[in-house]
Chains A and B, each alone.
Chain A
Amino acid sequence: MGVRLSHRAIAFFAIVLALFCSTFVDAAYLRAARAAALAESGALAARLGLTDLSLFTEARYTRHPTQADLHSAFQDHPFAFEHFPSGSLMPPPRMLTKEYENLDRKTESPD
């Protein structure tokens, strides 16, 4: 007779649970190991007065989001579309896209 299914399940869950708990141990280990890098970045940011992470370097308002005002994504020219993926997930404010009155109905002769 082979090993009971319940015993196999208990063994499986014991292993997986041990792995789950070990992720927390690993997190503590990595935190200690990577503390130096974090401190170095923090020190450089403090010394140079840096305000932003260099994660999104494609445009000025994505490189330094904290230094850009709310409208900088639309400043390239009047009616500019936002064209970078970093910001394209965010719609422009409603007031900028609302429709204006249709003037063509008021013209007396067709164009």
Chain B
Amino acid sequence: MYLLKRFANIRVAYIHSVDICSVFQIGDAKKITPKTNVLAVQRDYEKFNTKEGSFRSYQLFRESIPQPSFDEQFSSAYSNNSPNIYVDHVKILGISSSSIVNFGSAEEICAEARIKHIRQLSKNVDGDEKQR
């Protein structure tokens, strides 16, 4: 598949934060492949051990994700009547977890994010002293 790439003309861009394995790309890219593993632990009280948790112990970090095949045969025709894309103003609050903001063209983008959420609450919810 061959696609004649267009020019991206952006006048103003404002991005507040670029987080966890994300890409803000100005210009053309050949291949962008960010991959993230996240263990998101929310606790009722502040307690953090520097040595705890392991990606291996959760199945979602080990299993393989089925990918689409790109070698499917089909006939395609592209006609770019205008070689330009104009955007006056872009405002983004945040990009996170293997995300991509790309001004320009890309040949291949292949992103992957695996997020495991765990919430730990203390037993006494009625305002008694929390168990530690």
Q: Do A and B come from one complex?
A: no
